[in-house]
Amino acid sequence: MSDPMRSDAELWRLIAVDDHQAFTELFERHARTIWNYAYRLTASWSAADDLLATTFLTAWRRRREVRLVRDSALPWLYTVTSNVCQGERRRLGRFLRIVPKLADTGSAPDHAERLAEDSAARERLKRVLAAIERLPRGEREAVKVCLLGGTSAADAAELFGISEPSVRSRLSRARARLQEITQEACDD
């Protein structure tokens, strides 16, 4: 418990020479008041907790620099709390302004997004490959060689020993059938 006989100024003089007990006493004396003030500034319990911690951390770090006016640490603690809160709001504002810019630069999705996308892509690929397997043999071969393999229709024609227009015809029919098959799958 804090000693009501010692003023904040007396405690601060002790704190300035690294007296941890005096700092604890000052904290216990003003923590609830500063937390309430921080809560009124933020309307958030967790933000008030963070502001309280940051205010007293700042007090400890600056213990040798601070000179109290009228024997009370409260005005200085209020000022620090307010300044930290304003700084956080500015930082958050800058962050919120930059987020859309980050999205516009094509930033890479995070790991979870990539896994979800990869999983969805694998499922789509499985469905497409299953649909390809349902095609007649000639169309299936044309799709595998040209669409999946990236071979030109002319090269596929030479490979299959048929004309290039025949390969194009098979691809056209295969696309139409694949569209029907995938539409059926979507309707199910």
Quick one: pLDDT at residue 88?
86
Distance linking the first and last C-alpha atoms of the chain? 71
- Residues in the chain, how many? 188
Of 25, 33, 34, 31, which is closest to residue 7 (Cα–Cα)?
25
Q: Are 170 and 142 in contact (CB under 8 A)?
A: yes
CATH of domain 8-104: 1.10.1740.10
The rounded distance, in Å, linking the Cα atoms of 47 and 84 is 11
Query: Which of residues 34 and 1 earns the better pLDDT score?
Result: 34
- CB pairs under 8 A, 24+ apart, for 147-154? 147/171, 147/174
Phi, psi values for residue 72, rounded to 5°: -125, 135
Residue 188 confidence class, pLDDT cut points 50, 70, 90: low
Quick one: pLDDT at residue 104?
53
Element (DSSP H or E) covering residue 173? helix 164-187
pTM to 2 decimals? 0.52
Inform me whether the pLDDT recorded for 160 exceeds 90.
no
Phi, psi values for residue 128, rounded to 5°: -65, -45
The rounded distance, in Å, linking the Cα atoms of 137 and 100 is 50
Inform me whether the pLDDT recorded for 41 exceeds 90.
no
Range 111-187: architecture per CATH: Orthogonal Bundle (1.10)
Report the percent of the chain where pLDDT is more than 90. 41
In the chain, CATH 1.10.10.10 sits at 111-187
> pLDDT tens across 70-88, in order?
888 998 999 999 999 888 8
Q: Are 138 and 173 in contact (CB under 8 A)?
A: no
The rounded distance, in Å, linking the Cα atoms of 68 and 131 is 79
Average pLDDT rounded to a whole number, residues 12-21 = 95
Q: State the DSSP code for 135.
A: S
> pLDDT tens across 91-133, in order?
877 766 766 665 554 556 677 777 677 777 777 777 877 888 8
In the chain, CATH 1.10.1740.10 sits at 8-104
